[in-house]
Amino acid sequence: MRGFSIAVVAGARPNFMKIAPIVRALRERAGAALESGVDLRISIVHTGQHYDENMSEVFFRELEIPAPDRHLEVGSGSHAEQTARIMVAFEKYILWEKPDWVVVVGDVNSTIGCALPAKKLGVKVAHVEAGLRSFDMSMPEEINRKLTDAISDLLFVTEESGVRNLCAEGVAPEKVFLVGNVMIDTLLRNKAKIEGPDFIPSPAVKAFCGKGRRYAVLTLHRPSNVDSREALAPIWGVLSEIARRIPILFPVHPRTRAKIGKFGLKENGIILVDPVGSIDMLYAVKGAALVLTDSGGLQEETTVLGIPCITIRENTERPVTVTVGTNYLAGTDPGRILAAANEILTGNAKKGAVPPLWDGNASGRIADILLRQKNPEPGRS
């Protein structure tokens, strides 16, 4: 019997949605692996980048992710502090667990913070959601993505643009696999749950969304949009204007809530609620006439759900949501945000389609490729 140990890393809210189907797909294959003489060990490492109940535990519960095998408890801090704490703690974990592969997802500090010590200790690294580029190096996520991709041994890509970007950066094509989107695996599984007879949304979400009313959903947390009054006040102004035409539900990130308070911004018809879990969020988004966001994942989820989405950013690393999907890249200019909202609210929203391979089976493809690494085909890494 040969051992094969894979450590799957998550740290921040969007990571949990991504690791859930990967861990499930790997576990589903453990029995077949055993029959073929491979003792597959799958470990989950939570870095602790996000730690509030409603930013972390609720996702483990709802998405049926097994409890982490190791919690690094790094918490918040400056980028350097947080990333450094992750690196030091994860290096110790690697030396103790000695995994064959480390799987990192997305573009948060936990992604690079774990990829780097793993690679330096000679452990293979697989990056899920590789190749996405905003070409905006002022975004911490863009730095995290580029560095993680540069040192990864397997790069799992969600959309064609990612393959092109990696190719342009000189990544060896045999490391790159276009597999689809693990966020959509989670979305489709959760969608079946909320459409089932037993689903009851949380009281806050039900009170807002469950009355057959027309409404919009907002998320906003990018430092470039919320950290300064100069950035946030004009965005808040146009959102308040839109809220006069359609009520807006805003599950608000702790970072943003603190800034709204600090800058003394009035709620103006925008209904602030605490962060909600992934299933409640899906319930709210699925029934919305419009989503306004600066998040990455929501651009993808709205595309699959066919819900019009206005992205309050100057760029997106997920261009397929604009070219194929329902996403409007409006930037942060109030006039452009309002023009997009007008188009949507007057019934003229563009009709989108679902990008190739966003079919709910990306994690299965990833698991199959990872398990092949126990016995790589000649010529494959």
Query: Which of 55/132 has CB closer to ligand UD1?
Result: 55
Alpha helices (H) in the chain, listed in sequence order: 13-28, 30-35, 57-62, 79-97, 109-120, 140-151, 160-168, 182-194, 203-209, 223-226, 229-243, 254-262, 278-286, 297-305, 320-323, 334-345, 362-372
Instruction: Please identify, using beta-carbon distances, which residue of 14 and 180 lies nearer to ligand UD1.
Output: 14
Q: Of 6, 8, 10, 12, which lies in the binding site for ligand UD1, with binding defined by CB under 6 A?
A: 12
- Using an 8 Å Cβ cutoff, are 276 and 202 in contact? yes
Q: Is 191 in the site for ligand UD1 (CB under 6 A)?
A: no
Q: With CB under 6 A as the contact rule, which of the stretches 16-24, 51-59, 125-133, 331-339 interacts with ligand UD1?
A: 51-59
Binding mask 126-165 vs ligand UD1 (x if CB under 6 A, - otherwise)?
--------------xx------------------------
One-letter amino acid for residue 96 of the chain: W
Judged by CB under 6 A, the residue of 71, 255, 336, 374 near ligand UD1 is 255
Q: Does 84 bind ligand UD1 (CB under 6 A)?
A: no
CA distance 296 to 182: 13
Closest CA to 285 of 360, 197, 183: 183
What is the nearest approach in angstroms of ligand UD1 to the Cβ of residue 337? 20
Length of the chain as a residue count: 381
Q: Which residue sits closest to ligand UD1, CB atoms considered?
A: 108
Alpha-carbon gap, residue 9 to 161, rounded angstroms: 25
Token pair listed for 196: 């089932």
323 binds ligand UD1 (CB under 6 A): no
The nearest distance, CB 335 to ligand UD1, in angstroms, is 26
* Residues of this chain that bind ligand UD1 (CB under 6 A): 12-14, 49-52, 55, 76, 82, 108-109, 140-141, 221, 253-255
